[in-house]
Structure 1
Amino acid sequence: MTPAPPDTSISTLGPCLIPSPVHRIGGVEAPFKEDAVDRILYHSHVLEDGRDSSTPSYEEAGPREKIYFDPPKTTVGIVTCGGLCPGLNDIIRGIVNRCHKQYGVARVYGFRYGYEGLVQRFGHTPLLLKPSSVEQAHHFGGTLLGSSRGKQDIGEMVDTLEDMKVDILFVIGGDGTLRGAAEIVKEIERRGLKKAVVGIPKTIDNDIRYLDKSFGFETAFDAAVQAVNCAYIEATGAVNGVGLVKLMGRDSGFIACYAALAGSNVDFVLVPEVPFELEGEGGLLEVLRQKLMKRGSAVIVVAEGAGQHLMQTGDDTDASGNKRYGDIGLFLKDRINAFFKQRKTEVNLKYIDPSYIVRSVPANAQDNVYCSRLAQNAVHAAMAGKTNMLVGRWHNSYIHLPLELVIHGRRKVDPTQELWHSVLECTGQPAVMK
């Protein structure tokens, strides 16, 4: 399990002296938060085994009575990085609306094509965003700003922030993007500038540590369930039918697990956290053969990062510095077909890879709400001068989380905990396939 964070303190640019314009919302006094008073405990329950019951706590997100930035003099920037994810446009829309409508911020710029848009020599002209320009954005998948992968020169990016007099930068992305945000903060501090950097965690893999979930995850596995159901129909409609579905999940198998639990018609779930073998009496191929003998069909859901030890993948990396993984879906398809052909047994395998469909759909209603609240709380934090942090949800409360806590590891499926045990119960697959 993820260990308790050693330090949850949030950096701030300085004293907040300006009365917030968010005093009354629709005639109701705003629920202002105090850093030292309104905190969310890390543990959801009191320890009862004799250990010290003291526990770390997070700042609770929300509007502050006094803010750091003077809204009419404040310029905001937004950037979206990495792969696409449901809800990106919802976040952009939420930030723009909160900045303009609630705080009266002077200018909001959208930097195009990820961190490339912060490097002027690429020539990506920033968009001036207003509520009217994002009014319908949440109805569409993807990001209206565009995205990209890969590292950029930190100094050049901060030069752009200085040249455009950007006071607040909202960074929307996954672990690699957030590592970049932390480097931007270091360069800003080195130059002695007063600029806030606030992250909003984006990854459909749901692998950001110390958070309940990242936005877009519910929409992603909802879309993945449709693919799994199609695989089940294909498998049961043929002699010795096998439906094989590859889902996203480089290092964390949450989408595969939840899609299998939601569909309740999956026989095998293969995730990066649980090694498996193909050959031998207890290997996947033999266990699959036995399943087909008993039932006549089977559905396999595999996360993209599973079974990498079975393939010769080399040491190549992508633009973000991540190791290039072998295609486990096509690999399994070929090995399963070859296994049954060698035994002169008919098998009808249908392979489905919905990866780009899953990540490109518009956010569903649950993620609409989640993205809206993340955006609201990100703006509240930034206007109060908070920096080097991200907003997220923990125990159903919105919190401020230091960037340093999330950039040195990923949240993973724990094979000893309840989620994986639920998967084993639902599928009936062996706990070990070796």
Structure 2
Amino acid sequence: MSTSTVSATSAAPKKGGGRRKLTLPWILLIIAAGLALVSVVRLISGANDLTSVGQFSGALQLAVPIALAGLGGLWAERSGVVNIGLEGMMILGTWFGAWAGYQWGPWTGVVLGIIGGALGGLLHAIITVTFNVNHIVSGVAINILAVGFTQYLSNFTFDKTPGGSSKQSPRIEPITEITVPGLSDWLATLQGKHWFLISDAAGALGGLVTNLSLLTVVAVLLVPATWWVLWRTAFGLRLRSCGENPVAAESLGVNVYKYKYIAVIVSGAMAGLGGAFLAIVSTGIYQEGQTGGRGYIGLAAMIFGNWMPGGMALGSGLFGFTYSLRLRGGAENVHAMLLLIAILLVLAVAWQLYKKKYLQAGIAAVCSAGLFVWYALTDQVPSQFVDAAPYVTTLLVLALSAQRLRMPKADGMPYRKGQGK
């Protein structure tokens, strides 16, 4: 079966529908514009840690598990299977990664974490693809089972080892970190000058070459690798055709069940790798509840990215940056973000006026004015708002982007072999 033949099964977006695909030049332009805007906010607010090397290094580390969960969701949903169970698969990845990591080393933990997540994906595939159970019900069940299963295992494994307990594992040996000598120090010095845009760019680049775990490098490379496999190979084209029109794909000889199984197992493996990253790299220890909803936020990043790897990576970076703000400088940095959001809403007002959507423009103008007043009359924000900032960001991003999204046409729809006959 030729690649061109299968492509006919994948319905193209209608004119005017959906968003344009984010090519590399557009992604770089968005990053540059965002960096310039953050630089303006930093100068006005005086929150110099907003674009420091430590801020970007922390943001990258926090974004990686979210991005891996997002990649997992992308693989599954491109094949037509909704994977709400990513959170549970991440939990399995954290437990198995830590269990193997403290005994046989961190890289063994990474492999076992991937396998643990893949087993969760296999279970989800059996339930949804073979038995045609509702995808949401299956995902929620896996999330609940993963919590109970790991709690049960911890009671007779970690609880009986030195340094462990029923809620956490012993300390895991760290994975090698990379710091580019000379370049890292130079960028840190340049960032410390606090020059407009130049210092901010130095902070961003410094975060990419300072204390960078080898597993972070692997995780980042998985984003372009996923794009290449799904959009530049015949295998990827067949897999995506299963998410667009499985009946037509079957009529052209595609084994739809096989591709759905592969996609959902890979989805679980990606989420498991994200969980192993949390346990081995982020904290160096397994702790009960440490995923903290990152599987769900990964799904939000995938939706924000319009089911594309590049957009998903941008969304993950945004959420990771927000998490890092909460951990570094807390209230001061989040207070500065009020100004950033207010400026973004001003730009939204201009855009809505250009499109002659006066009601939306009015609502955005009122929200922007409120944020400007809040920023001007206060020096800090309540600690509760600081803690909630990542989740508020998730809701805002989804609310602002939801109207221009295009999910795979057969995503979440039941499919039986031979149903088109």
TM-score, normalised to structure 2's length? 0.22
- Structure with higher RCO (Cα < 8 A, 6+ apart): 2
More helix by percentage: 2
Name which one, 1 or 2, has greater alpha-carbon Rg.
Answer: 1
More strand by percentage: 1
